Amino acid sequence: MKKFLQKVQAILSLICILGISCIGTGCSRQPEVYNSVDTAMGTIINQTIYASPKEAALQREVTGEILSRIHLLEKDYLSWRLDTAEIYQINRSAGTGQAKVLSDKLAGILEQCKAVSAASDGAFDFTIGQLARLWDIDTWATMQATDSGQNKRFVVPTQEQIHLAMSNSQIDALGVEGNQILLPAGMQLDLGAVGKGIVLDDAKEILAAHTEVTGAVISAGGSILTYGSKPDGSCWNVAIVDPFDSAGSLGILKLTGQCCVSTSGDYERFVEVDGKRYHHILDPATGYPADSGVRSVTILSDSGILSDALSTACFVLGVEEGLELAQCFQAEALFVDEEGGIYMTEGMHNCFVAN
């Protein structure tokens, strides 16, 4: 619960920074702002939609449509838990020797994931499912809630267990040909690193289909989409969380039009055992939480799936190689290292305003 409240707190502070202070209060100057907060895909979805003053029903409809799409993405495609999802079914086929036929949607997603995986030399690896299950990342939040951050039930995996899981997490062993996918025994896919980014790309599609929408900000966990413009023409202000104090911010990005911003940070999900912190971004080369000297990476891109995949990959690679990788994909990047140093690409520098 503490972790959940921290997240709500972080999002509320983000909303304040965005300057959307009239939401739902009947403020007469900007009645066209509509805001909704929901939970989906295991995270908080915050939507702010701008349209002409007469379009309140439409704004509700748009936020409802985006929320339904997020539920559908999880239920039909991305979940490794729900038996209705394509990823779940592909994972079940591992080792059967039977190739599965990919939907066009998932084939497109995997193609982009493979490109980031290849360019990052495997630092981004969506075949990491066995390793992620071994580390039990998805249960940490509930463990922390009961143990106030000092987790007593989590047991750090042994080196032997890690080696075994690593041998099943080898992207080179994945067979994808055309729209067919073949998983070797033991391999499990995990698209946890790109799910929120995919949400942003789908949200863009829905917003574009509603021409009455003049602007929007959609946030899904650590990923944020800005779309269109504000009624007063000012920039979108997206806060960058301070990894040393996740309720605060380091500064803001001043953005115009359509942008996708994703952050991966070691403060987002972690457990502490005997005073040592284990976070949720794994280095496929070691099998342990990445130890590249960074605490958070923020990526700015036109594409949600790319911003999300790259933030994870760059976190694993660290500052130097991460900056190179981001530039390969025409993305902007900002790194915060363990000493609090901030490193960024030139394009990021042009829109970042420090506190």
Give the binding site for ligand AMP (CB under 6 A): 124-126, 128, 132, 137, 190, 192-193, 222, 264, 268, 280-282, 284, 308, 311-312, 316
Task: Between 283 and 308, name the residue whose CB sits nearer to Mg ion.
Answer: 308
Q: Specify the DSSP class assigned to residue 235.
A: P
The least distance separating Mg ion from the CB of residue 68, rounded to whole angstroms, comes to 23
- 306 lies in the site for Mg ion, by CB under 5 A: no
- 120 lies in the site for Mg ion, by CB under 5 A: no
Q: Which residue is nearest to ligand AMP (CB)?
A: 192
Site string for Mg ion, 183-202 (x = CB under 5 A): ----------x---------
Task: Between 20 and 132, name the residue whose CB sits nearer to ligand AMP.
Answer: 132
Sign of CA dihedral 147, 150, 155, 160: positive
Task: Between 34 and 335, name the residue whose CB sits nearer to ligand AMP.
Answer: 335
Size of the chain, expressed as the number of residues it contains: 355
Residue 124 interacts with which of ligand AMP, Mg ion, none, CB < 5 to 8 Å by class: ligand AMP
Alpha carbon of residue 317 to chain centroid: 17
Task: Between 120 and 249, name the residue whose CB sits nearer to ligand AMP.
Answer: 120
The only residue of 266, 283, 308, 332 in contact with Mg ion, by rule CB under 5 A: 308
The least distance separating ligand AMP from the CB of residue 190, rounded to whole angstroms, comes to 5
Kind and range of the H or E run holding 264: strand 259-265
- 268 lies in the site for Mg ion, by CB under 5 A: no
Alpha carbon of residue 96 to chain centroid: 31
Please state, in angstroms and rounded to a whole number, the distance separating the CA atoms of residues 311 and 1: 26
- 55 lies in the site for Mg ion, by CB under 5 A: no
Output the CA–CA distances (angstroms, integers) from residue 32 to 12, 28, 37, 85, 233, in the order listed.
20, 9, 17, 37, 14
Q: How many residues bind Mg ion (CB under 5 A)?
A: 4
Task: Between 105 and 133, name the residue whose CB sits nearer to ligand AMP.
Answer: 133
- Rg, Å, the chain Cα set: 20
Task: Between 65 and 121, name the residue whose CB sits nearer to Mg ion.
Answer: 121
Q: Which two tokens stand for residue 127?
A: 């075949």
Please state, in angstroms and rounded to a whole number, the distance separating the CA atoms of residues 155 and 264: 24
Please state, in angstroms and rounded to a whole number, the distance separating the CA atoms of residues 181 and 92: 12
The least distance separating Mg ion from the CB of residue 262, rounded to whole angstroms, comes to 6
Q: 234-248: buried (b, 16+ CB within 10 Å) or exposed (e) per residue?
A: ebbbbbbbbbeebee
User: Which residues of this protein are in contact with Mg ion, per CB under 5 A?
Assistant: 193, 308, 311-312
